[in-house]
Amino acid sequence: MDGQNQYFISTKRIETLVDGIFAIAMTLLVLSIKLPDNSGLWTDSMVWGILWGQATNLFIYALSFYILATLWINHHRVFDQLKIADHGFWWITVLWLLLIALVPFSTYLMGDFGNTTPAALFFQANMFLIGIVSLLNRWYVIENKLADKIYKPETVKQIYLINLVFPVSALIGMSIAFISPPWSPIVYLFSPLIIIYLQRQL
């Protein structure tokens, strides 16, 4: 507090906060699958109807879970090599977490109104912004030498390429949202595979 080190933040505690927010966001996703009030009598076929009616919500739940898992594992890499965190890094992370914590809402929106363009655009915009802030985060760490190693120029290029997969996917998803909104999240079935493929080449 008096002059030294005040500018730096323990990466361990940011990590705990990040993990907590991811765990909660991932678990809250399940609330996108909804049930009616259980007042009245329900027959088997009526309950089959409820479950069938929630099939899209179940699919979008699984997809968002998979997206958040991809983001977490990608972020894990950044932290693994992080030597130190400063206020700039912290505030970029806060912005990123704010967008991560918004994913359950986007998922509920997509689950319930996924056949409309605005819902699909909102979902994709959420992902696009997450991707952009991830990219910013990576750029900030490299620019300010916060990592514990110096990256070769090719590696830096590859890192940026990996972090472009999400924003580009979101842009493709946005285009699809105008034609067929419920199909637009399909792009994220492929983006994690591309990310893993690119990471292998590092």
Please, which of residues 97-136 interact with a second copy by CB under 8 A? 97-98, 101-102, 104-105, 108-109, 112-113, 116-119, 122
- What are the DSSP E strand ranges found in 23-173? 85-86
Residue 23: both structure tokens together: 């765990």
**Total residues in contact with a second copy, by rule CB under 8 A:** 74
Round to whole Å and give the CA distance between 85 and 14: 9
**Quick check: 160 binds a second copy (CB under 8 A)?**
no
- Binding of a second copy by 153 (CB under 8 A): no
- Site map (CB under 8 A) of a second copy, residues 85-104, x = contact: --x--xx--x--xx--xx-x
Q: Which of residues 4-33 bind a second copy (CB under 8 A)?
A: 6-7, 9-10, 13, 15-17, 19-30, 33
| Burial category of 85 from C-beta neighbours within 10 Å (exposed 0-12, middle 13-18, buried 19 and up) | buried
The 166-195 contact track toward a second copy, x by CB under 8 A, reads ------------------------------
Report the chain's terminal Cα–Cα distance, integer Å. Answer: 40
Q: How far apart are CA 196 and CA 121, in angstroms?
A: 26
